[in-house]
Amino acid sequence: MVQIQQPTKTNKELFTILVSDQMDKQGLKPVLESSIVNVVFESIKDTTVSLDEVDALLIRSATTVTKELIEKMPSLKIIGRAGVGVDNVDMEAATSHGVVVINAPDGNTISTAEHTFAMLASLVRNIPQANQSMKEGRWDRKSYQGEELYGKTLGIIGFGRIGAELASRARAFRMNVIAYDPFLTKTRAEKNNVVPVELSEVLSNSDFITVHTPLTKDTKGLLNRQTLKQTKPGVYILNCARGGIIDEEALYEAITDGQVKGAAIDVFEEEPAKNHPLTKLEQVITTPHIAASTTEAQKNVAEQVAVEVLDFLEGNPAPHALNLPYLEGNIFEKFSPVTKLTRTLGEMTSQLFREPVKQIEISYAGEISHQETGLFNRSFLAGFFRHRIDEYVNEVNSSWIAKQRDVQVVEKHENESQGYSNFVKATIYGEGNSIEVYGTFSQEIGPRIVQVNGFSFDFQPAKHTLYVQHNDRPGVIGKVGQLLGTHDINIAAMQVGRKQEGGKAIMLMSTDKECDKSVLEAFAKIEEIVSVSSIEL
């Protein structure tokens, strides 16, 4: 349904590629050796090339691509970011101008895994400290006695590409590897020869703990005063992923108290981290965010974007495109309500079903079932994976991400629409559980959630939503209202669903602001409450 207008040039013309940031020339060989492009290495601020003639822009992190810049480049067709993130690109402006944006999501996987393992080995053998003592003219063997990795247990929190690479290196050193990832299936764990466990088991059983999760509201401060106290005494902690996953103040205290024997840190919550307290501790080794800084990684990311940009200019699709190509107004208007509904269903089910997923089944009924539903599927997946991975995800790359994570996606068309003109049913299957959510939409009021696991209601999703499972008893709603009022949280709307009087029931409510961890923990004091989940859309 969605098509990209592929670039064309006459035989006498060449495509102009502007490389605005420093980039590995060896990695750029595909475009440098191509006969259809002219490559210019100049900063976009100082380029001698007319901006309205640039067909492709290659950048790293130094160049910021703004809406104003894109508007000055009418011939621009594609932006290639030689790296993982795209924070320095105005994605909305690029999309609205029909400019495809790509990145290099796999380029630094090996370098980050290797750096983490190098930090691990250096930490346990006191190599940086011993090296410094030698530079200071000392010969002090007794002070730097280390430990072997052999037979020790490595606990990996977050088992994506980097976690898997790290696990293979740890097994080569004959370490035991356990992993916690709420979305790690048994099949994938077995495939990578790791033992999937709960977070509590990683904390209590690991000799070394390394974090490789995205930084989200769920993972920020994941290792804090409370969780660090649950670790095995004498544990080593590593973070080469994202600053903020570890509470740095709590880690400092745990090291000085002796609970944590040492730490290796490459990333900090605030960078540059000059004169950081952790760098003053003898038991801590630190590096200035260089896990991805290798010659090979820089070559790889440059080569990945060079190959894909060239392929795109030759008229082929861009498999790592991060933004949806521009849609004509009438097409967008026609399908916007449906994509909004499916994306909302994806976001809701992802946050309600916090466990490994094997299959996603999306069923359509009513008028919508007669449309081309491929875009709606991708919209659902974009919403679903947004809260699970540390990558930019949307309608373009969401199917690819599902495939990479061994999630089977099934599409169905049904006759029964439950009395709605348009009806979507999403069923998520895990290894032992499942969740089923029904939705519909209208042009006037937008998406509506009409059923969750057999509980019926009519709820309009909002930015801040609470999902409460409870026992149907008199006074429960009043207790919930009082609790939220005590925390200065206003209820904007509420729907209650039950199957029978006095049985299990569900509340869905929208609030004026997000409910933080302390609010969610307070729900446990209400006897009738079974569980509560905060949903952020």
In DSSP terms, 535 is beta-bridged to: 465
What is the C-alpha to C-alpha distance for residues 356 and 343, in angstroms, rounded to an integer?
Answer: 19
Candidates 118, 114, 87; CA nearest to 103 is 87
Q: At which residue do the structure tokens 């100049």 appear?
A: 42
What is the C-alpha to C-alpha distance for residues 179 and 211, in angstroms, rounded to an integer?
Answer: 10
Is the four-CA dihedral 501, 502, 503, 506 of positive or negative sign?
Answer: positive
In this chain, the answer to whether the domains covering 109-286 and 465-537 adopt an identical fold is no
The third-level CATH classification (topology) of the domain covering 327-461 is 60s Ribosomal Protein L30; Chain: A; (3.30.1330)
Q: Which of 271, 282, 367, 521 is catalytic?
A: 271
Other Cβ atoms less than 10 A from the Cβ of 374: the count is: 13
109-286 maps to CATH 3.40.50.720: yes
289 is catalytic: yes
Angle, CA 357 vertex, CA 354 and CA 361 arms, to 5°: 115
Q: Which of 97, 161, 289, 498 is catalytic?
A: 289
Q: Encoding tokens for residue 380?
A: 């659902």
Other Cβ atoms less than 10 A from the Cβ of 177: the count is: 22
Q: Which CATH number fits domain 15-107+296-313: 3.50.50.60, 3.40.190.290, 3.60.21.10, 3.40.50.720?
A: 3.40.50.720
What is the C-alpha to C-alpha distance for residues 22 and 412, in angstroms, rounded to an integer?
Answer: 48
Each residue's pLDDT expressed in tens, for the chain with a length of 537 residues:
333 445 555 444 799 999 999 999 999 999 999 999 999 999 999 899 999 999 999 998 889 999 999 999 999 999 999 987 787 899 888 877 778 999 987 788 999 999 999 999 999 999 999 999 999 999 999 999 999 999 999 999 999 889 999 999 999 999 999 999 988 888 889 999 999 999 999 999 999 999 998 887 888 999 999 999 999 999 999 999 999 999 999 999 999 999 999 999 999 999 899 999 999 999 999 999 999 889 999 999 999 999 999 998 988 777 778 876 544 455 556 667 788 899 999 999 999 998 889 999 999 988 877 777 887 888 899 899 988 887 667 776 788 788 888 899 999 988 877 777 788 999 999 988 999 999 998 777 778 899 999 888 888 888 999 999 999 999 999 999 999 999 999 999 999 988 888 889 999 999 999 998 889 999 988 999 999 999 998
Helix (H) or strand (E) segment spanning residue 155: strand 153-157
Long-range CB contact pairs, 331-336, < 8 A, 24+ = 335/371, 335/375, 335/376
Strands 408-413 and 359-366: parallel
Write down the architecture of domain 465-537 according to CATH.
2-Layer Sandwich (3.30)
Domain boundaries, the chain: 15-107+296-313, 109-286, 327-461, 465-537
Q: Which of 81, 169, 212, 242 is catalytic?
A: 242
97 is catalytic: no
138 is catalytic: no
